[in-house]
Amino acid sequence: MLKIKKNPEDFKVEEITPNGEVMETEKKYKFKENSKGNQLICTLVKNNWEQNRAIKEISNRLHFSRKRIGYAGTKDKRALTSQRISIYGCKPEDVKELKIKDIDVKPIEYSDERITLGDLWGNKFTIKVETDKEIKPKKKIPNYYGHQRFGKIRPITHLVGEAAIKEKPEEAVKIYLTKSFEEESEDAKKARKWLEKNWDKNRGKDEERREVFKEALNKYPKYLGYERTLLHHLVEYPRDYINSMRKLPKNLEIMFSHAYQSYLFNQYLDEVKDRIEKGEIEQEEGPVYGYETDLKNEYERKILKENGLELKDFKVNCLPELSEEGKRRKLFIDLNDLEILDKGENYYEISFSLSKGSYATVVIEELFEDKLD
């Protein structure tokens, strides 16, 4: 047994800024009255809110585009999280009037600099872990991408990304809309299976294709908002799969290619981890594949070949915004600040910090040598 997130408060994530400041969930920040700029920097503390929906709700309450809000990284949904956001052209008094359940936005200062993705050092985690196993502290942890990268209930993000990178936009949209999993609600599964069954119906006639997507809209429950957004576009333009994907939030669309890169990186780490630990290979970083990746060894080439890929495939012609240059990523995490805060009969409360891009769930599975339920 290895479980986390019984309650959102049992999984606390506090952003660490580039200069090392921890954005604590309980800290009260006094607004810097003498600060200047067109960006209002705030703390966003949220409890059990998916980030895109939290940002959308804030922008709706402030009556302006969500594009005015910048943030450094996406935090977990089922968690208590704290992070910085920037809001263009906003006043402190506007933010102070926000009343949203389980969301707290507090102004800190004005700035000329928008907060952008990657503008953080990492995150501090404080986690209650339910387990019947003893913790086994380790200094080095394999730096896998966690399941959040691919989706937990519907692990399809990398599959959509693979189809897009291989220039198959219709397949990408079909996977996103129709692939169902047992953990989903019955009405969601039923709707997806209906559309999958009827996907190829009358595909030569636009008007009849529209009817398929109209009927799907009637079947897809309201809470599948992103799927319904795609379907609305397809009702109007029944063959325009490329622009239907562009109706999704930009960060979600880009996550498709990132997830596929992550999937390939995890394959590579599986391939070389034991060889590195045995001293057969000396390598600190592995490939997050892209069109400019400098391949270092036969194993990096092997992963590409096994997946039917060439580096040039990561320059995506049909969806250029999904193109990826590639980078290198550490193969192992140095875990230097692990602290056991509490221990009970069937639980631990622990804290540690990770640099951006590394996953607490991966660390937990390694520390307890078990898989999370």
pLDDT tens readout for residues 176-197:
999 999 989 999 999 999 999 9
Whether the model pTM is above 0.75: yes
Beta bridge partners of 86: 41, 70
63: left (phi over 0), alpha (psi -120 to 50) or beta: left
Stretch 288-297: mean pLDDT: 96
In this structure, what token pair is assigned to residue 297?
């060894």
Is 334 designated active site?
A: no
**Residue in 76, 119, 206, 373 annotated catalytic:** 76
CA distance 87 to 41: 7
Query: Quick one: pLDDT band at residue 202, thresholds 50, 70, 90?
Result: low
What domains does the chain contain, in order, with CATH numbers? Answer: 21-120 (3.30.70.3160), 161-245 (1.10.1510.30), 256-333 (no CATH)
* Average per-residue pLDDT for the chain: 94
E strand or H helix at 85, and its extent? strand 80-88
pLDDT tens readout for residues 32-68:
999 999 999 999 999 999 998 999 999 999 999 999 9
CA distance 77 to 4: 13
CA distance 245 to 248: 6
Q: What is the pLDDT of residue 1?
A: 85
Q: What is the pLDDT of residue 147?
A: 86
Phi and psi at residue 204, in whole multiples of 5°? Answer: -85, -10
Q: What is the pLDDT of residue 336?
A: 84
Counting residues of the chain whose pLDDT is more than 70, the rounded percentage is 99
